[in-house]
Structure 1
Amino acid sequence: MTPKEPREDKTAALLRAALMSAPGERITVEQLLEPLRRRAFGFLLLLLAIPNFIPVPLGIGGVMGVLVVALGLEMLIGLEHPWIPGFLRRRTMSREGLLRFLDRIAPVTQRLERICKPRMQRLTRRPFTFVSGAIMILIGILLALPIPFTNYVFGAMLIAFAFALVERDGALLLAVWTTTVIVVVASATFSRALAGLFRDLF
Protein backbone atom coordinates (compact mmCIF):
# COMPACT_ATOMS: atom_id res chain seq x y z
CA MET A 1 0.00 0.00 0.00
CA THR A 2 1.42 3.40 -1.01
CA PRO A 3 1.79 5.79 1.96
CA LYS A 4 0.04 9.12 1.82
CA GLU A 5 2.15 12.19 1.06
CA PRO A 6 2.91 13.96 4.36
CA ARG A 7 1.29 17.25 5.16
CA GLU A 8 4.59 19.14 5.19
CA ASP A 9 5.04 18.33 1.50
CA LYS A 10 1.95 20.32 0.58
CA THR A 11 2.25 23.51 -1.46
CA ALA A 12 1.75 26.19 1.21
CA ALA A 13 3.99 24.41 3.73
CA LEU A 14 6.77 24.00 1.15
CA LEU A 15 6.55 27.67 0.24
CA ARG A 16 6.65 28.73 3.91
CA ALA A 17 9.68 26.52 4.53
CA ALA A 18 11.46 28.05 1.52
CA LEU A 19 10.66 31.57 2.79
CA MET A 20 12.14 30.76 6.19
CA SER A 21 15.24 29.07 4.77
CA ALA A 22 17.07 32.29 3.77
CA PRO A 23 18.38 34.93 6.22
CA GLY A 24 17.29 38.55 6.17
CA GLU A 25 14.01 40.42 5.85
CA ARG A 26 14.02 40.20 2.06
CA ILE A 27 14.47 37.16 -0.13
CA THR A 28 15.48 36.94 -3.79
CA VAL A 29 13.49 34.95 -6.32
CA GLU A 30 16.52 32.68 -6.73
CA GLN A 31 16.75 31.99 -2.98
CA LEU A 32 13.04 31.23 -2.83
CA LEU A 33 12.96 28.86 -5.79
CA GLU A 34 16.22 27.00 -5.12
CA PRO A 35 14.83 24.56 -2.50
CA LEU A 36 11.69 24.20 -4.63
CA ARG A 37 13.59 23.41 -7.84
CA ARG A 38 11.86 20.08 -8.44
CA ARG A 39 8.51 21.88 -8.71
CA ALA A 40 9.76 25.35 -9.65
CA PHE A 41 7.35 25.91 -12.56
CA GLY A 42 4.33 25.64 -10.26
CA PHE A 43 5.84 27.82 -7.54
CA LEU A 44 6.98 30.49 -10.00
CA LEU A 45 3.47 30.57 -11.45
CA LEU A 46 2.11 31.02 -7.92
CA LEU A 47 4.46 34.00 -7.42
CA LEU A 48 3.20 35.55 -10.67
CA ALA A 49 -0.39 35.17 -9.44
CA ILE A 50 0.21 37.07 -6.18
CA PRO A 51 0.35 40.68 -7.54
CA ASN A 52 -3.11 40.24 -9.06
CA PHE A 53 -4.59 40.20 -5.55
CA ILE A 54 -2.65 43.19 -4.19
CA PRO A 55 -3.64 46.84 -4.79
CA VAL A 56 -0.86 48.00 -7.11
CA PRO A 57 -0.56 50.57 -9.93
CA LEU A 58 -2.75 50.09 -12.97
CA GLY A 59 -1.19 47.88 -15.62
CA ILE A 60 0.25 45.19 -13.35
CA GLY A 61 -1.93 42.65 -15.17
CA GLY A 62 -0.09 43.48 -18.39
CA VAL A 63 3.31 42.96 -16.77
CA MET A 64 2.31 39.71 -15.06
CA GLY A 65 0.59 38.54 -18.23
CA VAL A 66 3.79 38.95 -20.26
CA LEU A 67 5.76 37.02 -17.63
CA VAL A 68 3.15 34.22 -17.61
CA VAL A 69 3.37 34.03 -21.43
CA ALA A 70 7.18 33.77 -21.16
CA LEU A 71 6.85 30.97 -18.60
CA GLY A 72 4.33 29.20 -20.83
CA LEU A 73 6.75 29.38 -23.77
CA GLU A 74 9.41 27.69 -21.64
CA MET A 75 7.01 24.84 -20.86
CA LEU A 76 5.95 24.73 -24.50
CA ILE A 77 9.53 24.06 -25.67
CA GLY A 78 9.99 21.40 -23.00
CA LEU A 79 12.35 22.95 -20.44
CA GLU A 80 12.66 20.81 -17.29
CA HIS A 81 13.10 23.86 -15.04
CA PRO A 82 12.16 27.50 -15.69
CA TRP A 83 14.90 29.78 -17.01
CA ILE A 84 14.82 33.14 -15.23
CA PRO A 85 16.84 36.17 -16.41
CA GLY A 86 19.48 37.36 -13.95
CA PHE A 87 17.72 40.65 -13.11
CA LEU A 88 14.58 38.72 -12.13
CA ARG A 89 16.51 36.09 -10.16
CA ARG A 90 18.06 38.89 -8.11
CA ARG A 91 14.72 40.62 -7.54
CA THR A 92 13.97 40.78 -3.82
CA MET A 93 10.64 40.41 -2.07
CA SER A 94 9.52 41.08 1.47
CA ARG A 95 9.46 37.84 3.45
CA GLU A 96 6.83 39.24 5.83
CA GLY A 97 4.71 40.46 2.91
CA LEU A 98 4.71 37.00 1.31
CA LEU A 99 3.92 35.32 4.63
CA ARG A 100 1.02 37.73 5.18
CA PHE A 101 -0.28 36.94 1.70
CA LEU A 102 -0.10 33.20 2.45
CA ASP A 103 -2.09 33.83 5.64
CA ARG A 104 -4.63 35.87 3.66
CA ILE A 105 -5.26 33.16 1.09
CA ALA A 106 -4.99 30.30 3.61
CA PRO A 107 -8.73 29.40 3.35
CA VAL A 108 -8.34 28.99 -0.42
CA THR A 109 -5.05 27.09 -0.26
CA GLN A 110 -6.38 24.77 2.43
CA ARG A 111 -9.38 23.89 0.26
CA LEU A 112 -7.14 23.35 -2.76
CA GLU A 113 -4.79 21.15 -0.72
CA ARG A 114 -7.72 19.04 0.45
CA ILE A 115 -8.84 18.61 -3.14
CA CYS A 116 -5.40 18.13 -4.68
CA LYS A 117 -3.60 14.82 -4.69
CA PRO A 118 -1.23 13.04 -7.07
CA ARG A 119 -3.51 11.56 -9.75
CA MET A 120 -3.55 11.32 -13.53
CA GLN A 121 0.10 12.34 -13.15
CA ARG A 122 0.90 11.60 -16.79
CA LEU A 123 -0.89 14.86 -17.66
CA THR A 124 1.67 16.79 -15.58
CA ARG A 125 4.64 15.38 -17.51
CA ARG A 126 5.89 15.48 -21.07
CA PRO A 127 4.50 15.44 -23.72
CA PHE A 128 1.50 17.03 -21.97
CA THR A 129 3.64 19.92 -20.70
CA PHE A 130 3.20 21.19 -24.28
CA VAL A 131 -0.54 21.57 -23.58
CA SER A 132 0.13 23.20 -20.19
CA GLY A 133 2.50 25.67 -21.86
CA ALA A 134 -0.06 26.58 -24.52
CA ILE A 135 -2.82 27.04 -21.92
CA MET A 136 -0.50 29.14 -19.76
CA ILE A 137 0.18 31.39 -22.78
CA LEU A 138 -3.58 31.84 -23.27
CA ILE A 139 -4.07 32.82 -19.62
CA GLY A 140 -1.14 35.23 -19.85
CA ILE A 141 -2.60 36.90 -22.95
CA LEU A 142 -6.01 37.27 -21.27
CA LEU A 143 -4.35 38.69 -18.15
CA ALA A 144 -2.36 41.19 -20.23
CA LEU A 145 -5.45 42.49 -22.04
CA PRO A 146 -7.00 45.66 -20.54
CA ILE A 147 -10.24 43.94 -19.52
CA PRO A 148 -11.64 45.56 -16.35
CA PHE A 149 -12.15 43.53 -13.14
CA THR A 150 -10.56 40.33 -14.47
CA ASN A 151 -7.28 40.28 -12.54
CA TYR A 152 -8.83 38.33 -9.65
CA VAL A 153 -10.40 35.80 -12.04
CA PHE A 154 -7.20 35.10 -13.97
CA GLY A 155 -5.14 35.28 -10.77
CA ALA A 156 -7.35 32.57 -9.27
CA MET A 157 -6.90 30.47 -12.41
CA LEU A 158 -3.13 30.84 -12.08
CA ILE A 159 -3.26 29.72 -8.43
CA ALA A 160 -5.27 26.62 -9.37
CA PHE A 161 -2.83 25.95 -12.24
CA ALA A 162 0.14 26.35 -9.88
CA PHE A 163 -1.34 23.95 -7.31
CA ALA A 164 -2.06 21.39 -10.03
CA LEU A 165 1.59 21.49 -11.17
CA VAL A 166 3.08 21.41 -7.66
CA GLU A 167 0.79 18.65 -6.37
CA ARG A 168 1.05 16.66 -9.64
CA ASP A 169 -2.76 16.68 -9.89
CA GLY A 170 -3.66 15.89 -13.49
CA ALA A 171 -7.40 16.06 -12.78
CA LEU A 172 -7.17 19.66 -11.56
CA LEU A 173 -4.85 20.46 -14.46
CA LEU A 174 -7.46 19.13 -16.89
CA ALA A 175 -10.09 21.31 -15.20
CA VAL A 176 -7.86 24.39 -15.62
CA TRP A 177 -7.27 23.56 -19.30
CA THR A 178 -11.01 23.22 -19.90
CA THR A 179 -11.89 26.40 -17.99
CA THR A 180 -9.29 28.39 -19.93
CA VAL A 181 -10.64 27.23 -23.29
CA ILE A 182 -14.20 28.14 -22.19
CA VAL A 183 -13.04 31.60 -21.03
CA VAL A 184 -11.16 32.19 -24.30
CA VAL A 185 -14.23 31.24 -26.38
CA ALA A 186 -16.51 33.37 -24.17
CA SER A 187 -14.11 36.34 -24.40
CA ALA A 188 -13.91 36.05 -28.20
CA THR A 189 -17.71 35.83 -28.47
CA PHE A 190 -18.15 38.86 -26.19
CA SER A 191 -15.53 40.85 -28.13
CA ARG A 192 -17.27 40.11 -31.45
CA ALA A 193 -20.65 41.08 -29.99
CA LEU A 194 -19.21 44.31 -28.59
CA ALA A 195 -17.53 45.17 -31.91
CA GLY A 196 -20.84 44.53 -33.70
CA LEU A 197 -22.67 46.80 -31.25
CA PHE A 198 -20.22 49.64 -31.84
CA ARG A 199 -20.54 49.20 -35.61
CA ASP A 200 -24.32 49.45 -35.36
CA LEU A 201 -24.14 52.53 -33.12
CA PHE A 202 -21.57 54.45 -35.12
Structure 2
Amino acid sequence: MRKREGALSDVIEEMRHATGGCRAGRVSVGDLIGALDERGYGAALAVLPLLELTPVGGIPGFPTLLAVTIAIITVRMLLGYEHLWAPGWINRRTLDARRAEASLAWLKPVAGRIDAQLHERLVRLAGPVGRRVAGIAILCVLLTVPPLEVVPFATSAPMVVTSLFGLAILFRDGLLMLVAGTALAAAMTGSLWLLFGGG
Protein backbone atom coordinates (compact mmCIF):
# COMPACT_ATOMS: atom_id res chain seq x y z
CA MET A 1 0.00 0.00 0.00
CA ARG A 2 1.15 3.55 -0.66
CA LYS A 3 2.38 5.38 2.39
CA ARG A 4 1.15 8.87 3.19
CA GLU A 5 4.53 10.51 3.69
CA GLY A 6 4.82 13.03 6.46
CA ALA A 7 1.10 13.17 7.22
CA LEU A 8 1.31 13.64 10.99
CA SER A 9 4.46 15.77 10.89
CA ASP A 10 2.79 18.17 8.47
CA VAL A 11 -0.27 18.46 10.69
CA ILE A 12 1.81 19.35 13.74
CA GLU A 13 3.83 21.88 11.74
CA GLU A 14 0.61 23.61 10.68
CA MET A 15 -0.46 23.82 14.32
CA ARG A 16 2.92 25.30 15.23
CA HIS A 17 2.36 28.01 12.64
CA ALA A 18 -0.98 28.76 14.29
CA THR A 19 0.83 29.59 17.54
CA GLY A 20 2.96 32.27 15.84
CA GLY A 21 1.93 35.90 15.75
CA CYS A 22 -0.75 35.48 18.40
CA ARG A 23 -1.90 38.58 20.20
CA ALA A 24 -0.64 39.03 23.77
CA GLY A 25 1.28 35.79 23.48
CA ARG A 26 -1.87 33.65 23.67
CA VAL A 27 -3.24 31.09 21.21
CA SER A 28 -6.88 30.11 21.25
CA VAL A 29 -8.23 26.59 21.04
CA GLY A 30 -10.17 27.79 18.01
CA ASP A 31 -6.92 28.73 16.24
CA LEU A 32 -5.55 25.22 16.82
CA ILE A 33 -8.75 23.57 15.60
CA GLY A 34 -8.77 25.87 12.56
CA ALA A 35 -5.26 24.75 11.67
CA LEU A 36 -6.54 21.16 11.57
CA ASP A 37 -9.77 21.74 9.68
CA GLU A 38 -8.57 21.13 6.13
CA ARG A 39 -6.76 17.98 7.28
CA GLY A 40 -9.97 16.39 8.47
CA TYR A 41 -11.15 14.33 11.40
CA GLY A 42 -8.33 11.80 11.41
CA ALA A 43 -5.74 14.55 11.92
CA ALA A 44 -7.74 16.19 14.72
CA LEU A 45 -8.35 12.91 16.53
CA ALA A 46 -4.71 11.90 16.14
CA VAL A 47 -3.02 15.13 17.24
CA LEU A 48 -5.30 16.79 19.80
CA PRO A 49 -5.16 13.89 22.30
CA LEU A 50 -1.35 13.92 22.14
CA LEU A 51 -1.36 17.43 23.60
CA GLU A 52 -2.29 15.83 26.91
CA LEU A 53 1.11 14.12 26.94
CA THR A 54 3.00 17.41 26.55
CA PRO A 55 3.68 20.19 29.11
CA VAL A 56 0.29 21.83 28.45
CA GLY A 57 -1.36 18.61 29.59
CA GLY A 58 -0.30 19.43 33.14
CA ILE A 59 -2.53 22.51 33.31
CA PRO A 60 -5.39 21.74 35.74
CA GLY A 61 -8.62 21.22 33.87
CA PHE A 62 -6.93 21.00 30.47
CA PRO A 63 -7.45 17.23 30.02
CA THR A 64 -11.19 17.65 30.62
CA LEU A 65 -11.39 20.64 28.25
CA LEU A 66 -9.50 18.57 25.68
CA ALA A 67 -11.81 15.59 26.17
CA VAL A 68 -14.91 17.76 25.68
CA THR A 69 -13.42 19.33 22.55
CA ILE A 70 -12.51 15.95 21.07
CA ALA A 71 -15.93 14.53 21.96
CA ILE A 72 -17.69 17.36 20.10
CA ILE A 73 -15.45 16.84 17.06
CA THR A 74 -16.13 13.08 17.21
CA VAL A 75 -19.90 13.56 17.35
CA ARG A 76 -19.72 15.77 14.27
CA MET A 77 -17.73 13.07 12.47
CA LEU A 78 -20.38 10.50 13.37
CA LEU A 79 -23.12 12.83 12.13
CA GLY A 80 -21.35 13.27 8.79
CA TYR A 81 -20.43 16.95 9.00
CA GLU A 82 -17.59 17.94 6.69
CA HIS A 83 -15.80 20.51 8.85
CA LEU A 84 -14.42 20.53 12.37
CA TRP A 85 -16.29 22.72 14.83
CA ALA A 86 -16.37 23.55 18.51
CA PRO A 87 -18.66 25.94 20.41
CA GLY A 88 -17.54 29.49 21.05
CA TRP A 89 -16.82 28.98 24.74
CA ILE A 90 -14.24 26.33 23.83
CA ASN A 91 -12.80 28.22 20.86
CA ARG A 92 -12.23 31.28 23.05
CA ARG A 93 -10.20 29.41 25.65
CA THR A 94 -6.54 30.34 25.31
CA LEU A 95 -3.13 28.87 26.09
CA ASP A 96 0.25 30.47 26.44
CA ALA A 97 1.50 30.54 22.83
CA ARG A 98 5.13 29.80 23.74
CA ARG A 99 4.13 26.86 25.91
CA ALA A 100 1.85 25.52 23.17
CA GLU A 101 4.58 25.93 20.54
CA ALA A 102 7.10 24.15 22.76
CA SER A 103 4.66 21.30 23.28
CA LEU A 104 4.13 20.93 19.53
CA ALA A 105 7.90 21.07 18.96
CA TRP A 106 8.24 18.24 21.49
CA LEU A 107 5.75 16.20 19.46
CA LYS A 108 7.46 16.79 16.10
CA PRO A 109 10.12 14.02 16.35
CA VAL A 110 7.49 11.65 17.75
CA ALA A 111 5.35 12.41 14.71
CA GLY A 112 8.28 11.67 12.41
CA ARG A 113 8.70 8.22 13.91
CA ILE A 114 4.97 7.55 13.59
CA ASP A 115 4.99 8.66 9.95
CA ALA A 116 7.81 6.20 9.28
CA GLN A 117 5.79 3.26 10.59
CA LEU A 118 2.17 3.73 9.58
CA HIS A 119 0.63 3.26 6.14
CA GLU A 120 -2.50 1.94 4.45
CA ARG A 121 -3.23 -1.71 5.25
CA LEU A 122 -6.36 -3.74 5.92
CA VAL A 123 -8.09 -0.65 4.57
CA ARG A 124 -11.63 -2.03 4.87
CA LEU A 125 -11.27 -2.05 8.66
CA ALA A 126 -10.56 1.69 8.54
CA GLY A 127 -13.40 2.48 6.12
CA PRO A 128 -16.77 4.13 6.88
CA VAL A 129 -17.95 1.37 9.23
CA GLY A 130 -14.59 1.33 11.00
CA ARG A 131 -14.73 5.11 11.42
CA ARG A 132 -18.15 4.89 13.06
CA VAL A 133 -17.02 2.13 15.41
CA ALA A 134 -13.91 4.17 16.23
CA GLY A 135 -16.04 7.25 16.91
CA ILE A 136 -18.27 5.41 19.36
CA ALA A 137 -15.22 3.88 21.05
CA ILE A 138 -13.61 7.30 21.39
CA LEU A 139 -16.70 8.76 23.04
CA CYS A 140 -16.77 5.87 25.51
CA VAL A 141 -13.14 6.24 26.54
CA LEU A 142 -13.37 10.05 26.79
CA LEU A 143 -16.07 9.67 29.45
CA THR A 144 -13.36 8.44 31.82
CA VAL A 145 -11.18 11.55 31.48
CA PRO A 146 -12.93 14.03 33.84
CA PRO A 147 -13.05 11.67 36.86
CA LEU A 148 -9.50 10.45 36.18
CA GLU A 149 -8.10 13.97 36.52
CA VAL A 150 -7.88 13.38 40.26
CA VAL A 151 -5.37 10.55 39.65
CA PRO A 152 -1.91 11.78 38.51
CA PHE A 153 -1.11 10.88 34.88
CA ALA A 154 -4.23 8.67 34.62
CA THR A 155 -5.78 10.73 31.80
CA SER A 156 -2.90 9.82 29.49
CA ALA A 157 -4.21 6.31 28.80
CA PRO A 158 -7.60 7.31 27.33
CA MET A 159 -5.93 10.07 25.30
CA VAL A 160 -3.40 7.62 23.84
CA VAL A 161 -6.23 5.27 22.89
CA THR A 162 -8.08 8.16 21.23
CA SER A 163 -4.96 9.11 19.30
CA LEU A 164 -4.50 5.52 18.10
CA PHE A 165 -8.00 5.54 16.63
CA GLY A 166 -7.30 8.95 15.04
CA LEU A 167 -4.07 7.71 13.52
CA ALA A 168 -5.85 4.64 12.14
CA ILE A 169 -8.38 6.94 10.45
CA LEU A 170 -5.70 9.36 9.22
CA PHE A 171 -3.52 6.66 7.66
CA ARG A 172 -6.40 4.29 6.78
CA ASP A 173 -4.55 1.65 8.78
CA GLY A 174 -6.89 -1.21 9.65
CA LEU A 175 -4.23 -3.05 11.61
CA LEU A 176 -3.79 -0.05 13.87
CA MET A 177 -7.58 0.08 14.23
CA LEU A 178 -7.42 -3.44 15.70
CA VAL A 179 -4.55 -2.42 17.99
CA ALA A 180 -6.56 0.60 19.14
CA GLY A 181 -9.50 -1.66 19.96
CA THR A 182 -7.27 -3.84 22.13
CA ALA A 183 -5.82 -0.75 23.81
CA LEU A 184 -9.35 0.51 24.43
CA ALA A 185 -10.25 -2.65 26.33
CA ALA A 186 -7.10 -2.36 28.44
CA ALA A 187 -7.60 1.36 29.10
CA MET A 188 -11.24 0.96 30.08
CA THR A 189 -10.39 -1.91 32.43
CA GLY A 190 -7.60 0.11 34.03
CA SER A 191 -9.75 3.23 34.31
CA LEU A 192 -12.60 1.36 35.98
CA TRP A 193 -10.16 -0.21 38.41
CA LEU A 194 -8.69 3.20 39.30
CA LEU A 195 -12.13 4.75 39.75
CA PHE A 196 -13.87 1.95 41.64
CA GLY A 197 -11.28 -0.54 42.83
CA GLY A 198 -8.02 1.31 43.24
CA GLY A 199 -8.97 2.98 46.49
Unaligned runs of 5+ in 1: none
AA paired with 2:54?
A: F
2:194 and 2:108 map into 1 onto residues whose CA distance is 35
Q: Does 1:13 align with 2:3?
A: no
Q: Give, in angstroms, the shift of residue 22 of structure 1.
A: 8.1
Going from structure 1 to structure 2, the CA distance change for 1:106 and 1:191 (only over 3 Å counts) comes to closer
Going from structure 1 to structure 2, the CA distance change for 1:96 and 1:52 (only over 3 Å counts) comes to same
TM-score (norm 1): 0.72
Please show how residues 22-61 of structure 1 align to structure 2 within 5 Å.
Answer: 24-25=21-22, 26-34=26-34, 36-45=36-45, 46-54=47-55, 55-57=58-60, 59-61=61-63
Match of 1:194 in 2: 197
Q: Does 1:175 align with 2:179?
A: yes
Write the deviation string for residues 36-69 of structure 1: whole angstroms up to 9, x where unpaired: 4343323333224414533212x43333333333
2:52 and 2:194 map into 1 onto residues whose CA distance is 26
AA paired with 1:37?
A: D
CA contact 1:112–1:163 (8 Å) conserved in 2: no
Unaligned runs of 5+ in 2: none
2:177 and 2:125 map into 1 onto residues whose CA distance is 8
Q: Does 1:108 align with 2:110?
A: yes
Please show how residues 13-162 of structure 1 align to structure 2 within 5 Å.
Answer: 13-20=10-17, 24-25=21-22, 26-34=26-34, 36-45=36-45, 46-54=47-55, 55-57=58-60, 59-146=61-148, 148=151, 149-162=153-166
1:171 aligns to what SS in structure 2? helix
Write the deviation string for residues 137-181 of structure 1: whole angstroms up to 9, x where unpaired: 122012222361312223333333333332232221221122102
2:70 and 2:18 map into 1 onto residues whose CA distance is 26
2:71 and 2:129 map into 1 onto residues whose CA distance is 19
Q: Give, in angstroms, the shift of residue 186 of structure 1.
A: 4.7
Q: Give, in angstroms, the shift of residue 117 of structure 1.
A: 1.1
Task: Give the CA RMSD over aligned residues.
Answer: 3.3
Aligned residues: 191
Going from structure 1 to structure 2, the CA distance change for 1:13 and 1:34 (only over 3 Å counts) comes to same
CA contact 1:33–1:40 (8 Å) conserved in 2: no
Write the deviation string for residues 119-143 of structure 1: whole angstroms up to 9, x where unpaired: 2333333232220111111220122
CA contact 1:61–1:143 (8 Å) conserved in 2: yes
Going from structure 1 to structure 2, the CA distance change for 1:192 and 1:143 (only over 3 Å counts) comes to closer
CA contact 1:75–1:132 (8 Å) conserved in 2: no
1:11 aligns to what SS in structure 2? helix
TM-score (norm 2): 0.73
